[in-house]
Amino acid sequence: MKRWTTKREHQIYSSKLFQALCRSRRTSSSTSAKELHQTADRVLAITAKGTTRWSRAILAAPLTAGTNMKKHKKAKVTVHTRLRKPVVNREKRKLPVVERKLRALRRLVPGCRKLSCNNLLEETSDYIAALEMQVRALTAITEFLSRGLL
């Protein structure tokens, strides 16, 4: 996890990302924000060198073209509300708060939906550190690019 905080790692990632963005610009006339974000994620995942689940999940995910595509489409079953029995909010039916939040966390970290608690901690901390570096790198690229215009 330390790797996401070193200057060297930051330099490598930001320059790699910038190169990737320039490359994609040559192939398609414009890069949408979505594609850029995706590129940023993929380069980030590559930097992880396959050591974490979240990075492998990002690289395994299919490339989406521009539009907001959700991976899992939940089929909404519409039930006639009048015929339906009122849902009783019993403690047993609903997941306890902590488990609900744990599930939410699992959904946020790529590839971790069924991960155990211990591994989830590792993945989460690594993922957060990587995201923080991603933010710093994107900020740096933007800065240098806008400086170049002056």
Partner 1 sequence: MSGRRSRSKQSSVSSITDDQITDLVSKLQHLIPELRRRRFDKVSTSKVLQETCNYIRSLHREVEDLSDRLSQLLASTDSDSDQAAIIRSLLMQ
Query: Which residues here bind partner 1, judged by CB under 8 A?
Result: 7, 10-11, 14-15, 18-19, 21-22, 25, 30-37, 40, 97-99, 101-102, 104-105, 108-109, 116-118, 120-121, 124-125, 127-129, 131-132, 134-135, 138-142, 144-146, 148-149
Q: Are 54 and 110 in contact (CB under 8 A)?
A: yes
Structure tokens belonging to residue 31: 């890069």
The least distance separating partner 1 from the CB of residue 110, rounded to whole angstroms, comes to: 11
Structure tokens belonging to residue 104: 């939410």
Nearer to partner 1, 75 or 98 (CB): 98
Nearer to partner 1, 65 or 135 (CB): 135
Measure the CA–CA gap between 3 and 78, rounded to whole angstroms.
48
Nearer to partner 1, 9 or 56 (CB): 9
The least distance separating partner 1 from the CB of residue 3, rounded to whole angstroms, comes to: 15
Nearer to partner 1, 79 or 123 (CB): 123
The least distance separating partner 1 from the CB of residue 79, rounded to whole angstroms, comes to: 29
Structure tokens belonging to residue 60: 């395994």
What is the DSSP annotation of 2-59?
GGGGSHHHHHHHHHHHHHHHHHHHHHSS---HHHHHHHHHHHHHHHTTT-SHHHHHHH
The least distance separating partner 1 from the CB of residue 100, rounded to whole angstroms, comes to: 9
b/e code 14-24 from CB counts within 10 Å (16+ = b): beebbebbeee
The least distance separating partner 1 from the CB of residue 142, rounded to whole angstroms, comes to: 5
Measure the CA–CA gap between 65 and 78, rounded to whole angstroms.
30
Nearer to partner 1, 69 or 145 (CB): 145
